[in-house]
């Protein structure tokens, strides 16, 4: 296992680049990559994928991809939460802790994984500070990439072969 996927990976794939109706091979690749230990996500992420869209339906059909926090990750969660509390205003901390974000960073650190997210680092010019995954990853020495960089690193290919897409 190498990567742990953020909620926005699934949402943006569904809504923008890899809709299940046009690039089903992407979703097949996620299943395959999970079976080979390349990707995983968290139960907290699955909980954020609510509603009736294809991403939520897919998450319900593939529960095995979404893992619960384990004791090692829970110990790291405490450290990440304490860091956020010491460095950000309470509303930003609350948002970070109630979303899957804090869990993602803790799980990745505990298991030496790379976080996959489409969040950008915090803009230092903003007066209202938000806890962003890339910033937390930097502090805790957790690598992070976006979906495209993960797919390139893993040499994923979604090609047409006789009219059939495959991964």
Listed as ranges, residues in the chain with pLDDT below 50 are: 165
pLDDT per residue as tens digits for the range 126-142? 766 899 999 999 999 99
Q: Is the dihedral angle over the CA atoms 82, 88, 89, 91 positive or is it negative?
A: negative
SS (H, E, C) 50-118: CCCCHHHHHHHHCHHHEECCCHHHHHHHHHHHHHHHHHCCHHHHHHHHHCCHHHHHHHHHHHCCEEECC
How far is residue 121's CA from residue 134's CA, in Å, rounded to a whole number?
5
- State residue 127's pLDDT score: 61
Top CATH class, 3-160 = alpha beta
All structural domains of the chain with their residue ranges: 3-160
φ, ψ (nearest 5 deg) of residue 131: -85, 115
pLDDT per residue as tens digits for the range 2-31? 999 999 999 999 999 999 999 999 999 999
What's the whole-number average pLDDT of the chain?
A: 92
Can you give the pTM of this predicted structure? 0.91
């Amino acid at each position: 296992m190498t990567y742990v996927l953020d909620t926005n990976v699934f949402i943006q794939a569904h809504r923008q680049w890899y809709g299940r109706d046009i690039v089903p091979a992407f979703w097949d690749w996620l299943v395959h990559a999970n079976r080979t230990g390349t990707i995983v996500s968290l139960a907290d992420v699955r909980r954020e994928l609510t509603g009736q869209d294809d991403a939520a339906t897919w998450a319900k059909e593939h529960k095995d991809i979404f893992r619960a926090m384990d004791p090692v990750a829970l110990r790291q969660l405490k450290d990440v939460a304490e860091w956020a509390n010491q460095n950000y205003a309470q509303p930003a901390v609350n948002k970070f802790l109630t979303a899957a974000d804090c869990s993602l960073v803790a799980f990745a650190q505990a298991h030496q994984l790379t976080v996959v997210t489409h969040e950008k680092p915090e803009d230092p010019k903003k007066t209202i500070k938000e806890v962003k995954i890339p910033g937390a990853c930097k502090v805790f020495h957790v690598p992070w990439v976006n979906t495209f960089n993960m797919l390139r690193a893993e040499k994923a290919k979604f090609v047409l072969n006789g009219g059939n897409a495959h991964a």
